[in-house]
Structure 1
Amino acid sequence: MDARYAFRVRLRIEPAAADVSLEPATFETRCYLDAAEPGEEGWLFFRDFLWRGEVNDRAYAREVFAERIGVPVESVEFAGLHADEAYVAALKEAIAADLEAFKADDVTEVLSKYLGSSVQMER
């Protein structure tokens, strides 16, 4: 199984020396976070971090990515969950086993509620 979350992240580079300037000092890049296997610690990242395919707390997201990347982050946008078929099947199974925790009637509702239409299948 293989899956990772993709984000568009705008970074800001701050030179260490006062006599150095950068142009542009900010740039956008794609950042990937490995997705925990369904049922394992951290697998509910999508539930806690996303809402309708968007980052649900932008300030917190900037803090999380700045810490993980090591440079100041100006913005974070969710770009999708890239996963193979086995991961998506396991994710759906884990969600179905505990629909009450998601306050939803079915798996499709959960996926839409948190990931929007941003699940991209990879082989």
Structure 2
Amino acid sequence: MHGQYVFRVTLRFASPRDGVTVDSATDETTVTVAREAPEPGREGWLFFRDTLWRGEIGDDAYGRELAAEWLGLPRDRIESVSFRELQVDEAYFEALKTEIAADLDAFNAENVSEVLSKYLGSSIRVTDGE
């Protein structure tokens, strides 16, 4: 069973030396960050509910803080972060739906499809696991 969240992070380029300036409007680095998705029902599995809304990061400042932590960079180096997709294999997807169905009240929803749409939008990609 495997799942991962994929984010796109845009970094500000910082000059490594005094006396060298960089025009941050023209020098930009974009990094794709894959963050392991905890197995449904385990600690941290509700990351999508607590962080995302309709396939977007719900709180931009918090998203930049997370990206800084993941990349081990100062917060001011993170220009932007956006959620790309939740990549899962079939086993993970089934376990996720089962865990959601077990407590729909926690998501203020009537069914699993509503939960997935509410938090992940259409940004779920089920792979064959290879």
Assess same fold via TM > 0.5. Answer: yes
Letter in 2 for 1:98: D
Report the equivalent of 1:5.
5
Distance 2:94 2:6 in 1: 19
RMSD: 1.3
Shift of 1:27: 1.2
Residues 34 and 57 of structure 1, relative CA distance in 2, 3 Å threshold = same
* Contact persistence 1:14–1:25 (CA under 8 A): no
Gaps of 5+ in 2: none
Aligned counterparts of 2:21 and 2:31: Cα–Cα separation in 1:
20
**Structure 1 residues 45-84: aligned runs within 5 Å:** 45-71=47-73, 72-84=77-89
**2:112 aligned with 1:110:** no
Output one character per residue of 1:51-89: Cα deviation in whole Å (capped at 9) or x when no partner: 000000001110111122022211011100000000000
The 5-angstrom pairing of residues 86-105 of structure 1 reads 86-105=91-110
TM-score (normalizing by structure 2) = 0.89
Query: Whole-Å Cα distance in 1 between the matches of residues 122 and 33 of structure 2?
Result: 19
Q: Distance in 1 between matches of 2:92 and 2:20?
A: 46
In the aligned structure 2, how far is the partner of 1:27 from the partner of 1:16? 15
1:2-34 Cα shifts (integer Å, max 9, x gaps): 010011110123233213445753211211110
With normalisation by structure 1, the TM-score equals 0.94
Q: Which amino acid aligns with 1:12?
A: R
Q: Could you tell me which amino acid in structure 1 is paired with residue 4 of structure 2?
A: R
Question: May I ask how many residue pairs the two structures share in their alignment?
Answer: 123
Name the structure 2 match of 1:38.
40
Deviating 4+ runs (over 3 angstroms): 19-25
